[in-house]
């Protein structure tokens, strides 16, 4: 597959540099390392800082959510690779406003290892941290092992809510509790149609025939639970929605926020076709859609496919989603 890149090894640094040059009013690097990015006004005195991190290739996840009312900093890894513990620590120190720092990132082994190391190093620097893991991918583990699930697009809800809580002045424990609450009430499932091509290898991340789809696929091409003939948009939307509703134990009278997320190569028109059927399926069950997001929120380079996320709402969660926020890739309120 053709790509608009220079040297594959320079890909990450060059697109990060491009983001910084495009948005100097919103973002900065605290030092010389382009792999650490923070909001332009960081640190904000007295405010809990929120740091995320993960592999590149998922824009706007993770770096696209750094900004007012969202995240304060991000540590950036290579494509589909974890950032280093030293990069996490640098981001932590750059956003620490003396109220502590929340680590909010996806549940992947390399990320957990390096963020845990950064936790120990931050403690030596006198910075208090808490960790909340995104774990919304219902296809990756059954309900009884929900703590081991992968973090995928639904973590966006936690970014938004935790960011709003930090912005209004909540304590570190309170911001962490908000993030945990959102994660506990979020469920996501995806479908893949075509693999991504890694810049460093030029090879597809998995094999899938032109007439096949993979249900439950991860954002790095991790296998799902069903591979079969490509179905209609309505069937895909209904299948995913039914599984998410069951996982969250939603019933008639329930309220939800819906995220229909494109994986990178799926036209926006197709995402709206999916949202149409998701909305219908929820309405048929007596569940009210009170908030929706349709677009690319967590991609996998040029993977074709989409994911659907549901967040069970109450008044507090909805208010946090509706709070003002701005980053280069997100605006609310």
Residue with tokens 């059954």: 142
Rounded to an integer, what distance in angstroms lies between the CA atom of residue 276 and that of residue 80?
31
Rounded to an integer, what distance in angstroms lies between the CA atom of residue 197 and that of residue 289?
35
Q: Which of 23, 68, 185, 220 is catalytic?
A: 220
Burial of 166 (0-12, 13-18, 19+ CB in 10 A): buried
Q: Which of 23, 58, 226, 279 is catalytic?
A: 58
Mark whether 68 is an active-site residue: no
CB 101 within 8 A of CB 51: yes
Residue with tokens 């990756």: 140
- CA-to-CA separations, 136 to 205, 214, 259, in angstroms, rounded: 22, 18, 12
As a dihedral over the C-alpha atoms of residue 164, residue 332, residue 103, residue 130, rounded to 10 degrees, the angle is 10
* Cα within 13 Å of Cα(3), Cβ side: 17
Mark whether 58 is an active-site residue: yes
Active site residues: 58, 220
């Amino acid at each position: 597959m053709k790509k608009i890149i220079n040297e594959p090894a320079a890909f990450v640094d060059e697109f990060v540099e491009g983001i910084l040059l495009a948005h100097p009013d919103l973002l900065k690097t605290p030092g010389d390392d382009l792999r650490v990015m923070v909001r332009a006004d960081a640190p904000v005195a007295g405010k809990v800082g929120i740091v995320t991190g993960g592999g590149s290739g998922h824009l706007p996840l993770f770096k696209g959510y750094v900004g007012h009312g969202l995240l304060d900093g991000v540590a950036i890894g290579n494509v589909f690779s974890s950032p280093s513990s030293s990069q996490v620590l640098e981001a932590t120190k750059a956003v620490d406003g003396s109220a502590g720092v929340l680590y909010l990132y996806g549940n992947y082994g390399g990320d957990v290892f390096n963020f845990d190391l950064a936790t120990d190093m931050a403690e030596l620097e006198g910075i208090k941290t808490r960790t909340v893991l995104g774990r919304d991918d219902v296809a990756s583990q059954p309900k009884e092992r929900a703590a081991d699930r992968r973090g995928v697009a639904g973590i966006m809800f936690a970014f938004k809510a935790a960011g709003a809580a930090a912005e209004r002045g909540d304590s570190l424990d309170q911001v962490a509790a908000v993030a945990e609450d959102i994660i506990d009430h979020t469920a996501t499932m995806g479908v893949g149609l075509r693999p991504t091509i890694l810049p460093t290898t030029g090879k597809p991340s998995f094999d899938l025939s032109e007439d096949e789809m993979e249900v439950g696929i991860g954002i790095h091409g991790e296998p799902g639970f069903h591979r079969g003939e490509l179905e209609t948009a309505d069937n895909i939307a209904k299948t995913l929605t039914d599984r998410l509703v069951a996982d969250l134990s939603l019933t008639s009278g329930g309220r939800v926020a819906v995220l229909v997320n494109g994986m990178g190569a799926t036209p926006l028109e197709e995402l709206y076709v999916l949202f149409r059927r998701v909305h219908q399926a929820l309405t048929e069950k007596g569940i009210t859609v009170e908030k929706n997001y349709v677009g690319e929120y967590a991609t996998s380079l040029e993977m074709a496919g989409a994911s659907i996320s549901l967040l069970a709402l109450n008044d507090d969660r909805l208010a946090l989603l509706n709070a003002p926020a701005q980053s280069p890739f997100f605006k609310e309120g």
